[in-house]
Structure 1
Amino acid sequence: MKKKTIVIEGSTFSNLAGFYEEMNRLFMQDQDWKMGHSLDALNDILYGGFGVFEPGEQVLVIWKNFTQSKLALGREQTVELYQRKIEIGYPYNVKLFEEKLQEIEKEDGPLLWHIVLDIFGDHPNIDLILED
């Protein structure tokens, strides 16, 4: 059976908000709603059942210009996300995000692009190929 192929064009976004827009464009085609701007929402849509593939369907995701995406989802955007969650407070676990921010400042914690790759990796039906 041929796998559905989805191509992420890493040059189309330069920050986390743009990344979410690209994910919506690719994974939520023909839907009358969009994925929220959250990593949990990304994880949810990768299970399938909404958007372009069904649960368990084999999918090949080719991520082009990945090095550019690493910059777009790098330290600056990671720090900004964690600082925003700390400022908002509840319902976010402020202590957790303060600790994560300290890890980033020590260059010891994962950046957004690491986290996104881990999320894709949690879905065995999705094969991810990174290209430059």
Structure 2
Amino acid sequence: MQKYSHTLTIDGNNFNDLEGFYNEIARVFTDGSFPIGHNLDALNDLLIGGNGVYKVGEPVLIRWENANKSKIDLGYNATANYYDSRMKKCHPSNRAIFQKNLDDAKSYTGDTLFDIICKMLDQNKDLIHNCNLVLL
């Protein structure tokens, strides 16, 4: 059984949209002295460590309480809204992939924001960070 230097708990009852998720992550992963960006790239940077409550490389267990609520809150409707917003300001080279993701979300196919975030929080096998995710 792996030992963890930190166990961090995010609670789906504390937010109901992507902006609220970022606020919850900031509350749990930092001591408030390090402002985080509210985007997926900034989340990935935070997960690596060194900018919050744990150091780079430390093994961390992330517990996501009330994950079923978050799965709905960050589901296909939120995902479609996210990609619709991104389409308005993305680089032209990204338009095709964002349009595909938007079309998928509107068709209730493909990854939702919840799926994308879960994959990010639990991708330690890629050696980008050393986090493991448990959905509760």
Structure 1 Cα separation of the partners of residues 46 and 101 of structure 2: 25
TM-score by length of 2: 0.87
Instruction: Evaluate the alpha carbon distance shift between residue 2 and residue 42 of structure 1 in structure 2; reply closer, same or farther with a 3 A threshold.
Output: closer
Matches within 5 A, 1:31-70: 31=33, 33-70=34-71
Which blocks of at least 5 consecutive residues in structure 1 are unaligned? none
Give 1:12's match in structure 2, choosing from 4, 11, 14.
14
Amino acid at match of 2:18: L
Give the structure 1 partner of residue 112 of structure 2. 111
Amino acid at match of 1:105: K
Give 2:131's match in structure 1, choosing from 107, 126, 129.
126
The Cα of 1:92 is off from its aligned counterpart by 7.0
Cα-Cα RMSD: 1.6
Contact 2:12 2:65 in 1 (8 A): yes
Instruction: Evaluate the alpha carbon distance shift between residue 58 and residue 106 of structure 1 in structure 2; reply closer, same or farther with a 3 A threshold.
Output: same
Instruction: Evaluate the alpha carbon distance shift between residue 2 and residue 74 of structure 1 in structure 2; reply closer, same or farther with a 3 A threshold.
Output: closer
The Cα of 1:2 is off from its aligned counterpart by 5.1
Deviation string 1:11-55 (CA, Å, 9 cap, x unpaired) is 000000000000111112142x31111111111110101100001
Contact 2:8 2:60 in 1 (8 A): yes
Matches within 5 A, 1:60-99: 60-90=61-91, 93-99=94-100
Amino acid at match of 2:17: N
Aligned length: 130
Amino acid at match of 1:51: G
